[in-house]
């Protein structure tokens, strides 16, 4: 579950006239099931939920608390200590966790519509939540942190503003205490990484779905309109029908891009790979046997592509799980994307050399 889905669902529920409670993990110590930034929505008399803040008994308590304050519009912090033992019915994690529970009514519908749009469009910024039990919830989306004092009635010191900037620079979330004793929670809204899938076959269909569910933006490229279309790829953010020789003129590849090459043939794979290696893409993976890959790499080397660049290619593509079906292969590929996104490149990566 990602923030886009949470905010989109919040807007849908508010649009029906129901109040919502947004529960966010804002701090943890020790070992906890929920991590900072986890979110869950609660609404309705029966306590319907969407998302999770870690599960278990603690989540059940949070849901009950949220239900109790749903008729109001307020925000509160709830702290739980997870130091129980096995036979007392409490979690065994050890540590503590703080939740911010904010309740909203239909007047907040524009806020959640804006947040959904911001994330869907790949915009960057910071979301600042003002925590005050005496006032209704207040959330401010900022593209420029320096504009924070003109966007709210709260006056932030230069020290706090600098602290927020550091969090955003590290793409992290955190709670901060203000000089007057008040508190805020800052979340970084990052530019979503984009997966460029070259080729629109059956495998690409599954790659697109998996990648989208993990909060990647997805662009599908192919020269066949009967394959590259919204009906086949309903989750894709962008679909480009263009020749493989020209498609790079229509896309913006940067250090936050992931390139997957699964075209209709070796010729087109080679064309795309050569162009991909001239970009700053964070990941370049090409499907194919070792023989095919070595042959293509050798030809590119003979055309002047340096060895250092060729070593960027992940092939065989995907994490080794003995995948057989298109679904399994797609899963292994998106798992590799996730690994690169979270931990970076590692020495054991599937790089090939042409020695």
CA distances for 173 relative to 38, 74, 346, angstroms: 11, 22, 26
Select from 83, 29, 21, 30 the least CA-distant residue to 58. 83
Select from 77, 62, 76, 70 the least CA-distant residue to 21. 70
* Distance (Å, whole) CA 241 – CA 200: 10
Burial pattern 285-301, b for ≥16 Cβ within 10 A else e, equals bbbbeeeebbebbeebe
* Distance (Å, whole) CA 115 – CA 129: 13
* Distance (Å, whole) CA 133 – CA 69: 12
pLDDT at 93: 58
pLDDT at 209: 95
Going residue by residue through the chain, which has 355 residues, state the pLDDT in tens, using 9 for 90 and above.
Answer: 678 889 999 999 999 999 999 999 999 988 777 789 999 999 998 899 999 998 888 899 999 999 999 998 999 998 888 765 444 455 555 678 999 999 999 999 999 999 988 887 778 888 999 998 778 898 988 887 777 777 776 777 888 888 888 888 888 888 888 877 788 999 988 778 899 999 999 999 999 999 998 889 999 999 999 999 999 999 899 999 999 999 999 999 999 999 999 999 999 999 999 999 999 999 999 998 889 999 999 999 999 999 999 999 998 899 999 999 999 999 999 999 999 988 887 645 556 666 5
* Distance (Å, whole) CA 217 – CA 178: 36
CATH number for 194-343: choose from 2.40.50.180, 3.40.50.9100, 3.60.110.10, 3.40.50.720. Answer: 3.40.50.720
DSSP 3-state helix, strand, coil percentages of the chain (rounded to 5)? Answer: 35, 25, 40
Burial class, 91, CB count within 10 angstroms (exposed 0-12 / middle 13-18 / buried 19+): buried
Nearest 5°: CA angle at 52, between 189 and 193?
30
pLDDT at 354: 63
To the nearest 10 degrees (0 to 180), the angle between helices 326-343 and 202-213 is: 40
129 strand-pairing partners: 139, 185
Where do we find the tokens 């979690």?
91
Read off the tokens for 9.
């669902």
pLDDT at 215: 83
User: What kind and span of H or E run contains 249?
Assistant: none
Task: Tell me the pTM.
Answer: 0.72
pLDDT at 150: 75
Q: In which residue ranges of the chain is CATH 3.40.50.720 found? A: 194-343
Give the single-character DSSP code of 275: H
3-state SS, residue 305: coil
pLDDT at 163: 85
Which ranges constitute the DSSP H helices of 127-199?
A: 158-169
Contact 242, 221 (CB under 8 A): yes
pLDDT at 51: 92
pLDDT at 87: 46
* Distance (Å, whole) CA 297 – CA 291: 10
Nearest 5°: CA angle at 224, between 222 and 228?
60
* Distance (Å, whole) CA 212 – CA 334: 10
127 strand-pairing partners: 141, 187
């Amino acid at each position: 579950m990602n923030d886009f889905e949470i905010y989109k669902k919040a807007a849908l529920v508010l649009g029906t006239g129901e109040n919502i409670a947004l529960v966010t993990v804002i701090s943890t110590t020790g070992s906890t099931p929920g991590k900072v930034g986890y979110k869950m929505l609660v609404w309705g008399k029966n306590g319907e939920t969407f998302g999770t803040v870690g599960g278990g008994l603690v989540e059940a308590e949070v849901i009950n608390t949220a239900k109790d304050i749903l008729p109001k519009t307020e925000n509160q912090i709830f702290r739980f200590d997870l130091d129980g033992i096995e036979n007392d019915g409490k979690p065994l994690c050890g540590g503590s966790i703080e939740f911010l529970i904010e309740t909203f009514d239909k007047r907040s519908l524009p806020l959640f519509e804006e947040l959904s749009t911001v994330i869907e469009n790949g915009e960057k910024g910071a979301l600042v939540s003002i925590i005050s039990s005496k006032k209704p919830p207040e959330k401010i989306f900022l593209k420029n942190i320096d504009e924070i004092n003109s966007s709210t009635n709260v006056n932030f010191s230069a020290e706090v503003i600098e602290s927020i900037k550091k969090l955003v620079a590290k793409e992290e979330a955190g709670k901060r205490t203000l000089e007057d004793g008040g508190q805020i929670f800052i979340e970084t809204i990052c530019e979503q990484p984009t997966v460029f899938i070259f080729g629109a076959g059956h495998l690409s269909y599954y790659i697109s779905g998996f990648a989208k569910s993990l909060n990647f933006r997805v662009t599908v490229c192919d020269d066949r309109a009967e394959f590259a279309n919204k009906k086949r790829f309903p989750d894709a953010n962008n679909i480009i029908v263009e020749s493989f020789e020209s498609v790079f003129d229509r896309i913006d590849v940067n250090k936050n891009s992931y390139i997957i090459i699964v075209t209709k043939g070796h010729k087109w794979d080679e064309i795309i790979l050569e162009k991909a290696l001239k970009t700053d893409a964070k990941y370049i993976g090409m499907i194919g046997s070792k023989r095919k890959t070595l042959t293509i790499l050798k030809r590119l080397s003979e055309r002047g592509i340096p060895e250092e660049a060729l070593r960027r290619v992940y092939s065989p593509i995907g994490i080794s799980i003995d995948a057989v079906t298109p679904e399994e292969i797609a899963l292994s590929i998106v798992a590799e994307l996730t690994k690169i996104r979270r931990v970076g490149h590692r020495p054991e990566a599937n790089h090939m050399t042409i020695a």
